[in-house]
Homo-oligomer: A and B are copies of this chain.
């Protein structure tokens, strides 16, 4: 039973098959490698049913069977056949658009980054220039793909507000973009027509950490991203919190200090003016041209200054508001907050404990990203893969095979 998050629809058995097939694939994807027996117990279905589903995945070229592991013994009984992702199976292109560089990766099911490439992005570059650069990187990583493997889609992580209905980039302050249809630009530059999904970098960080990072199995998770601006991605009930337009999680403009500095949003003392990259850069006297690499600058510190510790306290106090609002189980600190937390973790913890309500405080823990700085990239891969888990057959139907030849032509 799963669900139509969209409400009110009935279910027929065709939908069952779709859902079960997708769920099997989701499990294989999540674990990278499983056994049919494990799938049976995880999904609560009959052995025969699982066998049928797995064999369908194999005939679709998505999964492969493998001989049981030699070494590991897991008790008596016939060892269960392994199920793993097919070697030449479907893949996606993940793009992490940063403020100073773009990372592009070819990612297979199971979250394997098969190949990656990156290039600097000019500050205040035009969107079409960036799109062309990204398209070149995409061509590079597709180069190595087996021609039989289908390309399912492209996922793009954007440091800004993305409208969920059509993927339009409404506002990316640090790229100075307004209302840019970046997905269309990249597709045009490539000359391809595949599904493109765009989303906010913090949302994708949350998704990735939930799937294969520090928050596996945690259905109430928040990823707070320090990435010049400050944003958050929220997973609640195991699903992304999006809001009507897709703009949910804009925590950077929480009211923090009404007497504080002016924020580019027009208000005074938003949280971002205290813990944003420019605020931190000022606190550590970092030159403005290195703000985009603030994490590396911070990593060179070994002892925090007083100003930096105050920033840590502000981070914790702001997190308290977030914890009070969402009551999460895990808060993952991404972007340069990762480096910051390593330096002034105690102050962050103290600030949080000082301002959060007892009830939500007792069940929350702060964590560093399990995927390092690659969380948004992995999240971009996840949204591009998502159609496969909803309906594998349909997703493969819209996928492109022999992409290299199409790119050449």
Residues of A whose CB lies within 8 Å of any CB of B are 1-13, 15-16, 18-20, 23, 26-27, 42-45, 49, 161, 170-171, 219-220, 236-239, 241-251, 253-259, 265, 267, 317-318, 320-321, 324-329, 354-355, 357, 359-360, 363-364
Contacts and interface: CB of A to CB of B under 8 A. Distances in A.
A307 to B, nearest CB: 18
Contacts of A321: 253-255
Contacts of A44: 9-10
Nearest to A268: B355
Given A1-B4, A5-B238, A238-B7, A251 B325 contact: yes
Contacts of A318: 255
A23 B8 contact: yes
Contacts of A250: 324-325, 327, 357, 360
Contacts of A246: 327
Given A11-B20, A20-B10, A327-B244, A255 B254 contact: yes
Given A241-B236, A324-B254, A359 B5 contact: no
Copies of this chain, whole number:
2
Contacts of A219: 7
A13 B15 contact: no
User: What are the 4 tightest A-B residue pairs by CB atom distance, in nearest-first order?
Assistant: A3-B3, A243-B327, A10-B43, A2-B3
Contacts of A249: 325, 327
Q: Which of A18, A23, A247, A363 gathers the greatest number of chain B CB atoms within 10 Å?
A: A247
Nearest to A12: B45
A3 B389 CA distance: 14
B237 A239 contact: yes
Contacts of A11: 1-2, 11, 16, 19-20
Contacts of A267: 354-355
A9 to B, nearest CB: 6
A171 to B, nearest CB: 7
Contact of A247 (B317, B320, B327): B327
Given A16-B13, A325-B249, A360-B250, A8 B43 contact: yes
Nearest to A269: B258
B8 A5 contact: no
29 contacts: A1-B2, A1-B9, A2-B3, A2-B4, A2-B11, A5-B237, A8-B27, A8-B42, A9-B23, A9-B44, A10-B20, A10-B43, A10-B45, A11-B11, A170-B359, A171-B359, A237-B242, A243-B328, A244-B328, A244-B363, A246-B327, A250-B324, A250-B325, A250-B327, A251-B325, A253-B324, A255-B355, A258-B258, A267-B355
